């Protein structure tokens, strides 16, 4: 177990396994580093150093009252990488973790601060802009996020349990993951604090990463499922690819949001090929 303390006193937990080129993973909402276990063990056995943190408010990190914004999330990642002595790193972000990757790159890597980012992968990510606005008409309606916040306040455990069906697509494809995976996912989600879980709904839906996309000058892989009903592909994965013209865009046909699990073998192979290229 390793932790690093942010300037506001928040302790950030992270895992640091293996030896070789460093790969940093940023998890989705409302989970923790544990969501990456299948990717971390796979790449660790392939000769990579794999690092993943629990975002502030989630998992084994502290649960402060405030600080749930992407500038702070990027600062926390910079602290983890500095504490781990990482000088060069490939960044992989899932869902709201894609925002972490984007903001770290624009706030640190593009300014010559922190670890140099050698490659980046956006997976089922909320980048570049998730919510519907006048200049983002394909985004998700704000009422969806109001409903999420209301569900969390009314009955967080049941809301998160029900969310699994959309997360893995079991509402459309029963049996795509085991009961054990569903139980583990709920267990991970319930280790997080309600304040961070609540505040991050606004962070991942309302943060505009379109200006950050210009900082993606490194090789970039964008992976998204075309059946993602949590983070629909049009305003996110497809839009990110357009804003990063040199990126490689892989669309997983019929894949739901949590394709890192439902399409684990394909995803792991694609990620390995990208990292080794």
Is 124 a residue whose pLDDT tops 80? yes
For the annotated catalytic residues, the residue numbers are 95, 228, 257
Structure tokens at 262: 């439902």
Distance CA 26, CA 37 (A): 12
Q: Render pLDDT for 203-223 as a digit per residue (tens, 0 to 9).
A: 999 999 999 999 999 999 999
The answer, yes or no, to whether residue 185 has pLDDT greater than 80, is yes
Q: How far apart are CA 29 and CA 86, in angstroms?
A: 25
Q: How confident is the model at residue 80 (pLDDT cuts 50, 70, 90)?
A: very high
pLDDT of 127 higher than 90: yes
pLDDT of 212 reads 98
CA distance 57 to 66: 9
Mean pLDDT, range 148-172, rounded to an integer: 97
pLDDT above 70 as % of the chain: 100
Q: What span, in angstroms and rounded, lies between the C-alpha atoms of 242 and 236?
A: 10
- The CATH number given to whatever domain includes residue 267 is 3.40.50.1820
Above 80 in pLDDT, residue 1?
A: no
Share of the chain above pLDDT 90, in %: 99
In a 3-state reduction of DSSP, which class is residue 234? helix
Average pLDDT over every residue of 225-250: 98
Do 125 and 205 contact (CB within 8 A), yes or no? no
pLDDT of the residue at 85: 98
Answer yes or no: is pLDDT of 110 > 90. Answer: no
Total of domains in the chain: 1
CB under 8 Å to 69, separation ≥6 — which residues? 203, 207
Peptide bond into 92 cis (omega under 30): no
Q: Residue 18: what are its φ and ψ, rounded to 5°? A: 80, -175
205 contacts 131 by C-beta, under 8 angstroms = yes
Domain that holds residue 211: 2-276
Q: Mean pLDDT of all residues in the chain?
A: 98
Residue 37 has pLDDT above 90, yes or no: yes
């Amino acid at each position: 177990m390793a932790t690093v303390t942010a300037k506001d006193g928040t302790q950030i937990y992270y895992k640091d396994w293996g030896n070789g080129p460093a790969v940093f993973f940023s998890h989705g909402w409302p989970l923790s580093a544990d969501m990456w276990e299948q990717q971390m063990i796979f790449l660790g056995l392939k000769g990579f150093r794999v690092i993943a943190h629990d975002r502030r408010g989630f998992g084994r990190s502290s649960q402060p009252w405030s600080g749930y914004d992407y500038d702070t999330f990027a600062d926390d990642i910079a602290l983890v990488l500095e504490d781990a002595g990482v000088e060069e790193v490939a960044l992989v972000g899932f869902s709201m973790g894609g925002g972490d990757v984007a903001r770290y790159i624009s706030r640190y890597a593009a300014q010559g601060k922190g670890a140099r980012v050698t490659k980046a992968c956006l997976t089922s990510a909320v980048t570049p802009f998730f919510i519907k606005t006048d200049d983002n008409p394909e985004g998700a309606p704000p009422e969806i996020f109001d409903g999420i916040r209301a569900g969390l306040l009314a009955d967080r455990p049941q809301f998160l349990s029900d969310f699994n069906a959309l997360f893995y697509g079991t509402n459309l494809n029963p049996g795509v993951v085991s009961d054990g995976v569903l139980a583990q996912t709920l267990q991970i989600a319930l280790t997080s604090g309600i304040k961070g879980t609540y505040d991050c709904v606004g962070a991942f839906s309302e943060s505009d990463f379109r200006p950050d996309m210009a900082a993606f000058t490194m090789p970039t892989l964008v992976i998204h499922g075309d059946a993602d009903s949590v983070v629909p592909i049009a305003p996110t994965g497809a839009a990110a690819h357009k804003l990063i013209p040199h990126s490689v865009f892989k669309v997983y046909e019929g894949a739901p949001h949590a394709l890192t699990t439902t399409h684990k073998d394909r995803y792991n192979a694609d990620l390995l090929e990208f990292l080794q290229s």
